[in-house]
């Protein structure tokens, strides 16, 4: 989720990445936030035959439209 903390409107581009065997759909996108409204996207996670059982980490990278990096996020999940 992205929020516009200075009320000037922003576009945030994001990319999701993970280890081999995880399929992230979509793997990238953009969010437009303005004023007091927030924006969010959903990423579906699936596995391929190459997925190993155990704990895995997905990393979400964020950038402003001008390329400035924002704080990344990480999500841990377990494949059984």
pTM, full prediction: 0.82
User: Residue for token digits 């990393």?
Assistant: 59
* CATH T-level assignment (fold) for domain 2-79: Immunoglobulin-like (2.60.40)
**CA atoms within 13 Å, Cβ hemisphere of 70:** 18
pLDDT (0 to 100) of residue 63:
94
Residues 6+ apart with CB under 8 A from 4: 10, 33, 34, 35, 36, 37, 38
Q: Parse the chain into domains and list their residue ranges.
A: 2-79
pLDDT (0 to 100) of residue 1:
65
pLDDT (0 to 100) of residue 3:
66
List, run by run, the mean pLDDT of 10-residue segments along the chain (80 residues): 72 94 96 82 93 95 92 94
């Amino acid at each position: 989720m992205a929020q516009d903390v200075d009320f000037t409107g922003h576009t945030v581009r994001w990319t999701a990445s993970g280890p081999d065997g995880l399929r992230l759909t979509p793997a990238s996108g953009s969010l437009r936030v303005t004023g007091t409204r927030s924006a969010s996207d959903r990423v579906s996670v699936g596995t391929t035959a190459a997925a190993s059982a155990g704990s895995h980490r997905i990393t979400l990278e964020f950038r402003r439209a001008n390329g400035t990096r924002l704080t990344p996020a990480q999500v841990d999940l377990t494949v059984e």
